[in-house]
Amino acid sequence: MTIKFYITYVLFLIGIVVSAQQVLTTDEAVKLALENNFNIKIANNAVEVAENNTNILNSGYLPTLTGSAGATYNLDNTEADFSNGNTTVLNGAESSRYNASLNLNYTIFDGLGRQYNYKSLKEQYQLSELQARETIENTIIQLFSVYYNVAQVSENVSALKETLKISKNRLVRAQYQFDYGQNTKLGILNAEVDIVNDSINIINAIQQLKNGKRDLNVVLGDVLKNDFNVETEVNFAIQFKKDSLFEKAKTRNTALLQTEKNIAISQLSIKSGQSAYLPTIGLVGSYGWNKNNNNAASFVAGSINTGLSAGLNLSWNIFDGGNTITRVRNAKVNLETQQLQKENILISITRDFNNVWDDYNNKLAIYNLQENNISTAQNNFSRTQEKFKIGQVNSIEFRQAQLNLRNAELSRNLAKFSAKLAELDLLQLSGELLNTSF
């Protein structure tokens, strides 16, 4: 009863896996991640903000135009003495004033600070693009780490299903042998124990497969609402020689390119700070309208004035207490820091590249060995199976050959996808990840 329950339950789980219709290819997975992954969306928004900052509207080159208006009402008690000796006393005398104006301000020259700040904004925009590229690269690595985990577990489930199939056939054979008096009950019991173990392995593997698919859907932005399968075949894409790939790493690595942009920004910060040593020349202009309604004590009952005014102003901060000197000095220190970071990154890239290159080649070699080992394990199992049928091998030896074949297949699956992930790490380090066909 217990054996039948395990078999029925495992077959039910297998049916769920097999019923999946959609096959998510690697190209489709990358496309969905680029369109829906939330980290990529956030990075793209940061790029959009940086691009907006490089607009002429944020450059400081355009003038400012402001409008102003006002009204004043007065109610006064006034005693006025005139030059002819007359005196006027007013209680509750009313007067009012109205004004409106447009004011224009334009900086003609600010010591070239505007120019350097605008160039710095462009460099920051390009830096944000590199940061977005880094986010995309990391997301793709994360995507394939989960994708190939699903692929590996999928192949493991197939191998475990075949193992269970063999164990079920062995149970049927043991039952026949017992019924005809050719074997003891022990053969049946051993086969039943192995079926339970094989069933448990499948149950655990299917649960891992479900979890892996959920993880993959999270990276894709939770856009897949139905069950799906993934591709299990991999193609190794690296065609570069080590030296040429290393040269690409020293010129296209994202972290290195970001440091070079930070160096350019630091250089512009120095020039921008030094611009404060120079004077600022500005143009001002205004058009105004003023209306006055005076009380009876005034010589003029009312007046209306309109007119234009314009002028130039110059300001020169000859000494600001040393703030400009301090800013320039700090900017130079920051530049030196960025240059030191670049040297450190170059050293790290050299080390990381050699490590990843060796890791990739080792894993690829292991995969090839494991692939060849499958044939050996298959031949060993086939011969053991034939001997088991004619009674020359006992059930324990047969089970060991069966496990050897299963373990060889599981090891081959692990080696294959580990080698592929190592290749992707190498491509990312070399700056070639986004130029690769997946």
Domain-located, residue 106: no
Q: How confident is the model at residue 74 (pLDDT cuts 50, 70, 90)?
A: confident
Q: Which helix (H) or strand (E) holds 394?
A: none
Residue 11 has pLDDT above 60, yes or no: no
Q: Biggest alpha carbon distance in the chain?
A: 150
Interval 363-386: pLDDT, tens: 999 999 999 999 999 999 999 999
pLDDT at 295: 75
Residue 303 has pLDDT above 60, yes or no: yes
Q: How confident is the model at residue 20 (pLDDT cuts 50, 70, 90)?
A: very low
Q: How confident is the model at residue 84 (pLDDT cuts 50, 70, 90)?
A: confident
Cβ-count burial 354-384 (b if 16+ within 10 Å, e if not): eebbebbbebbebbeebeebeeebeeebeeb
Of the spans 88-102, 201-215, 282-296, which averages the highest pLDDT? 201-215
Q: What is the mean pLDDT of residues 47-59?
A: 94
Interval 304-326: pLDDT, tens: 899 899 999 999 999 989 999 99
The identity of residue 283, as a single letter, is L
Residue 130 has pLDDT above 80, yes or no: yes
CB–CB of 78/90 below 8 Å?
A: yes
Residue 290 has pLDDT above 60, yes or no: yes
pLDDT at 1: 47
Q: How confident is the model at residue 21 (pLDDT cuts 50, 70, 90)?
A: low
Residue 293 has pLDDT above 80, yes or no: yes
Q: What is the mean pLDDT of residues 111-133?
A: 96
Residue 3 has pLDDT above 60, yes or no: no
Domain-located, residue 353: yes
Residues 129 and 146: their CA atoms lie apart, in Å, by 26
Distances (CA, A) of 19 to 16, 26, 284: 5, 20, 76
Pairwise pLDDT comparison (355 vs 17), residue with the higher score: 355
Residue 281 has pLDDT above 50, yes or no: yes
Interval 131-159: pLDDT, tens: 999 999 999 999 999 999 999 999 999 99
Distances (CA, A) of 255 to 132, 203, 424: 12, 43, 16
Domain-located, residue 135: yes
Q: What is the mean pLDDT of residues 275-283?
A: 94
Number of domains in the chain: 1
CB–CB of 81/122 below 8 Å?
A: no
Q: Which of 98-112, 265-279, 284-298, 326-340 has the lowest mean pLDDT?
A: 284-298
- What's the distance, CA 371 to chain centroid? 35
What is the CATH number for 339?
A: 1.20.1600.10
Residues 251 and 144: their CA atoms lie apart, in Å, by 25
Q: How confident is the model at residue 2 (pLDDT cuts 50, 70, 90)?
A: low
pLDDT at 322: 92
Domain-located, residue 296: no
Query: What is the phi/psi pair of residue 293, to 5°?
Result: -115, 105
User: Which residues partner with 285 through β-bridges?
Assistant: 104, 310
How would you classify the pairing of strands 64-81 and 87-109? antiparallel
Domain-located, residue 93: no
Mean pLDDT, all residues of the chain? 91
The identity of residue 173, as a single letter, is R
Global pTM value = 0.86
pLDDT at 6: 47
Pairwise pLDDT comparison (301 vs 189), residue with the higher score: 189
Side-chain half-sphere exposure of 238, counting CA atoms within 13 A? 25
The boundaries of the domain holding residue 144 are 2-68+112-278+321-435
Percent of the chain with pLDDT over 90: 76
Domain-located, residue 329: yes
Q: Which of 77, 117, 119, 113 is nearest to 95 (CA)?
A: 77
Domain-located, residue 358: yes
Query: What is the phi/psi pair of residue 291, to 5°?
Result: -130, 130
Domain-located, residue 88: no
Q: Which of 419, 33, 24, 30 is nearest to 237 (CA)?
A: 419
Give the three-state DSSP class for 223.
coil
Query: What is the phi/psi pair of residue 152, to 5°?
Result: -65, -45
CB–CB of 295/78 below 8 Å?
A: yes
Q: Which of 11-20, 79-88, 188-197, 297-306 has the lowest mean pLDDT?
A: 11-20
pLDDT at 8: 54
